Amino acid sequence: MGSPISPILATIVTDHLLDNVITQLPFELPFLYKYVDDIICAVPSYHINTTLNIFNSFNKHLQFTIETETDLGVPFLDTRVIRTENNILILDWYQKPTASGRYINYFSNHTTRQKYNTVLGMKNRITSIVDDTFLQKNLDILYKIFRNNGYPKHILKKLIYSSNFYDGPVHDSNNKSIIYKKLPFINGLTHSVISIFKDVPNINIAKYNTMNSKQLFSKIKDPVPTLYRSNVVYEIPCLGCQNSYIGQTSQWLKQRITQHK
């Protein structure tokens, strides 16, 4: 999607589409759930093509593809929705075939807390969505994934298979007297500085990386000068008052401004 506003626009458009499309279906949907522009619903097998055609006829620029149930299940986001013999829906953890399995490597220059929280975050996601039938299988898969990312066995066993793993102090977020500060993470130095304040009450120091992925990539394209941009919304302030003119143009901005003179 690229733009930060894209998920919001996609949600608005999808909601509008569903409001119009559902009323055109020749049957009542047993259930329908969506996340942004991903939709999962129950459709009679003899109405699958009809449903797809109705969705795709709403707007020629919005064309859907469909994935039907195979082996009593269908993927949706990071889950696989499975229909049991009793027609009860249960969830399993799902990874796309293209998933690389790469996460923060244990030997990367991240804080230990970040590495641990990556594992714990994945574990909590699995335990919160999967049916008990699949829990052990998925925890074993998670263990193998992080072993491939360099994590030691003894650490993974504590993180994944222990239910009472604790890593660091717990702060009361409702305590207004806590002072929050941040320091750049420099391996071997930041921890020493933070340890100086470990006995100081009501202070919480966070660590941040001094380099991010954005800094590692060069700009492939030269930036377009402002006056040579097209398909823009522009504002021209009035020289004699506090008002301004707001317009929209598909021309070069330079050319459109000239037309105002």
Q: 48-56 vs 6-21: helix axis angle to the nearest 10?
A: 120
Domain for residue 44, yes or no? yes
Asked whether the beta carbons of 56 and 17 are under 8 A apart, the reply is no
- The pLDDT value recorded for residue 215 is 79
- Categorize the per-residue pLDDT at 178 as very low, low, confident or very high, splitting at 50, 70 and 90: confident
Comparison of pLDDT for 169 and 192, the residue scoring more: 192
Structural domain of 121 = 112-161
Asked whether the beta carbons of 148 and 101 are under 8 A apart, the reply is yes
Residue 75 to residue 92: CA distance in whole angstroms: 9
213-245: per-residue pLDDT in tens?
A: 777 777 778 888 999 999 999 998 888 888 899
Tell whether the model's pLDDT for residue 99 goes beyond 70. Answer: yes
Enter the tokens of residue 23.
Answer: 């009323």
Asked whether the beta carbons of 147 and 101 are under 8 A apart, the reply is no
**Across the chain, what does the average pLDDT equal?**
88
Residue with tokens 């504002």, as numbered in its chain: 235
Tell whether the model's pLDDT for residue 155 goes beyond 90. Answer: yes
Domain for residue 168, yes or no? no
Tell whether the model's pLDDT for residue 62 goes beyond 60. Answer: yes
Closest CA to 204 of 221, 181, 174: 181
pTM for the full predicted model? 0.72
Domain for residue 233, yes or no? yes
Q: Are residues 11 and 45 in the same domain?
A: yes
Tell whether the model's pLDDT for residue 90 goes beyond 70. Answer: yes
**Mean pLDDT along residues 89-100:** 93
Using CA atoms of 98, 101, 103, 106 in order, give the dihedral in degrees to the nearest 10: -150
The total number of structural domains in the chain stands at 4
The residues facing 34 across adjacent strands are 39
Domain for residue 84, yes or no? no
The H or E element spanning position 38 is: strand 38-41
Tell whether the model's pLDDT for residue 167 goes beyond 80. Answer: no
Q: Are residues 209 and 247 in the same domain?
A: no
Q: Are residues 187 and 146 in the same domain?
A: no
Domain for residue 142, yes or no? yes
- Categorize the per-residue pLDDT at 102 as very low, low, confident or very high, splitting at 50, 70 and 90: very high
- The pLDDT value recorded for residue 55 is 93
Using CA atoms of 96, 56, 32, 1 in order, give the dihedral in degrees to the nearest 10: 50
- The pLDDT value recorded for residue 192 is 85
Residue type, 2: G
